[in-house]
Every structure is written in C-alpha cells, then in structure tokens.
Amino acid sequence: MRTDEDVETSGETGRSSAASTLQRVFINSTERRPRMPWRLALGLVGFGVVLFLVGLASTLLPEPGQFGGPYLPALYGTLLYLVLTAVLLAALLGLSYVIDRRHLTDLGLRLDGQWWRDCAFGLALGVVLPTAVFLVELAFGWLTVTGLFRTSESALLGFGSAPPWFAVLLVVLFFVGVSVFEELIVRGYLLTNIAEGLAGFWRIGTRAAMVIATLVTAGIFGVLHASNPNATALSVVNITLFGILLGLGYVLTDRLGVPVGMHLTWNATVGAVYGFPVSGITVGVTVMETETTGPELFTGGAFGPEGGLVALLALVLGLALLWWWVRRAYGDVALRDAVATPTLRDQSS
C-alpha cells in the first residue's frame, strides 16, 4: 500500500522527469545553448525588434533631399545607410554571441589571409560574370550602348546632380553594405545554423546537412527578391540558383570571402558599369549607359540580367570558375565539415 510520502516522492519524480524532457526539447545540454529551431526563433525575433527600432529611428532623421549641392544628398543617404546597416550587423553578431555562443569564425568570418584571397577572387568573379552577360547580349544585338558616365534620379540613393565619378563611388560603398549584410545573414547565420541543427538529426550526415542548408537558404534568398520591382517566376528561380552558387562559395571554403566579394561586384558591375537594373532596381548612375532591346525571356527586361535565361550562362561559368579556385586554393573541392561543426565560445563556463 502506497503512503502519502510515496505519492509525494512519485509526484516530484514525475515533475522532475517532465522538466528534464522539456529542457531536452529546448536546450542542447552538450552545447549549453538552445536547439537550432529555438535559437533561430530567438535570434530572428531579437533581430526583428532591432530592425523595427532602426527603421523607426531612421524616420526621425533628415531626408537626403533636405541637403543642397551636388554632393551632400547622395553622400548623406549612402553614409546613413551604411551606419544603419552597421547597427543591424552589430545586433546580429551580438545576438549570435549571446544566444548561439559563437566565435566570429563560426559565421564565416575567419579573417585570415585566405579569407582575403577568397574575397579577391569573389570580387574578380563578380566582374567577369556580368561582363560575360554584357558581351553575349551585345553579340546577339540585344543591347546598344547609348552613352557614357550618366546619372539619373533613382529610388535607390537619389544622386540628383552628383558627378558620375562620385556617384559610382557611392554605389560601390552602398553595395559593400548590401553584400556584407545579406551574406552574413543568409549564409553566415542561417545556413550555418540550419546545417548544425540538421547534422545528426534523423541520421542526416554532416555533409548532407550542408547540402540541405545550402538549398534552403538559396530558396530563402530567391523569395526575398520576389517582391522587387518587375520580378517574375524566372527571376526568383535564377536568384535561387545564384544563391546556390553563393552558398557553395561558403561551404566549400568555410569562409564568406567568395560570396561577399562576388555579391558586391556583381551588383556594382551590373548596375553601375553596364547600366542594367539590379534585381529590378535602377541604381541611378552608370559608366556605360545601355538600352536593352532583345527578348525579355533572355535579357530579363526591366528586372535586369538576373531575370533572363542569359543569367544561366553566367551561372555555369561561375560554377566552373569557383571549382577551379577552390581546387587551386584548398587542394580539393569538398564541403568543409567545419561549417556544420561549431567551435563555441567559453565552453568551460
């Protein structure tokens, strides 16, 4: 016959067991941090709050148009964007430090000599691929060059009467912020977390987890551009495929150097050198003003090259050049397990 003491002990044991089970659902006791779905949820909610506050603060600041002269409006707009982006990046790194318990190297920011060599290759790749697109369209008679060094009003930065050389410089600075921001979030943060969380789950191997994470984040990258002006189903597919290329630049090197470099110069070369729209957005300044007259299915029309079949040629060329670079720089072309194997900070505390 059970006594009151037995019942009380049994109740305490049950509560302890339930609490332990609940803890296992939410916390990885070995890594001493939330499991992947929960740390992503916490991180993204925290980042969303910071994003809201930054957006609110930006509405209280002067508009670029309030400044006079040919230089100040665009300079102010660019610097404001870079400062706000830096705040968001600092928030992301801080959340990753506290919630994920990460070193910067776990986000692809191993800023050693190889990282910078990878970045230099990515910068070159981002120039070569749009140049290939330009030459193909020129050879087929799908575009004509109508002028050199032109500026125009744009929703992006609003250059007004800024000299073209100054506007091109500001566009490059703007895309530095864009490339670092998007690559750190999509590849450094999301891809890394998803790969870590899937590795070992339902017998998913480390490399299979990286493949899945690369595909998932590429899909997210494509969907994020679906609301851009003049977006089409083909543009979303193409940007998703380029997201795979950027993801491979990360998982084959364990560094964000290649994707950051390529993302930067792809945008700058497409928009500020050859005058194409960048994902549906006209940047407002170009070294070479062009008019696209070819079939939109191939050229992408008002969305730019990323919305046309010609982008697939650039994609294939990009994959080939990335394979060559990784083999040359790393000795073999393989997924780097370190992407899905975290080296957490302060393991002993």
| Average of per-residue pLDDT values in the chain | 89
Higher pLDDT, 163 or 177: 177
Confidence band of 338 (pLDDT split at 50, 70, 90): very high
**What is the pLDDT averaged over residues 296-310?**
96
What is the per-residue pLDDT for 213?
97
What is the per-residue pLDDT for 7?
45
Q: Write the single-letter amino acid at 192.
A: T
Q: Write the single-letter amino acid at 265.
A: T
Which of 45-54, 73-82, 175-184, 231-240 has the lowest average pLDDT?
73-82
What is the per-residue pLDDT for 13?
55
Distance between CA atoms of 26 and 39, rounded to whole angstroms?
Answer: 9
What is the per-residue pLDDT for 165?
86
Question: Percentage of residues in the chain with pLDDT exceeding 90?
Answer: 68
* 3-state helix/strand/coil string of 65-109: HHCCCCCHHHHHHHHHHHHHHHHHHHHHHHHHHHHHCECHHHHCC
**What is the pLDDT averaged over residues 286-295?**
92
What does the pLDDT look like over 55-100, one tens digit per residue? 998 888 887 767 777 778 788 888 999 999 999 999 999 999 999 9
**What is the pLDDT averaged over residues 18-43?**
78
What does the pLDDT look like over 253-284, one tens digit per residue? 999 999 999 999 999 999 999 999 999 998 88
Helix (H, G, I), strand (E, B) or coil at 147: strand
Q: Please say if the pLDDT value at position 6 is more than 90.
A: no
Torsion of CA 82, 88, 91, 92, to 10 degrees: -110
Which of 37-51, 141-155, 242-256 has the lowest average pLDDT?
141-155
What is the per-residue DSSP string for 164-221?
A: HHHHHHHHHHHHHHHHHHHHIIIIIIIIHHHHHHHTTGGG--HHHHHHHHHHHHHHHH
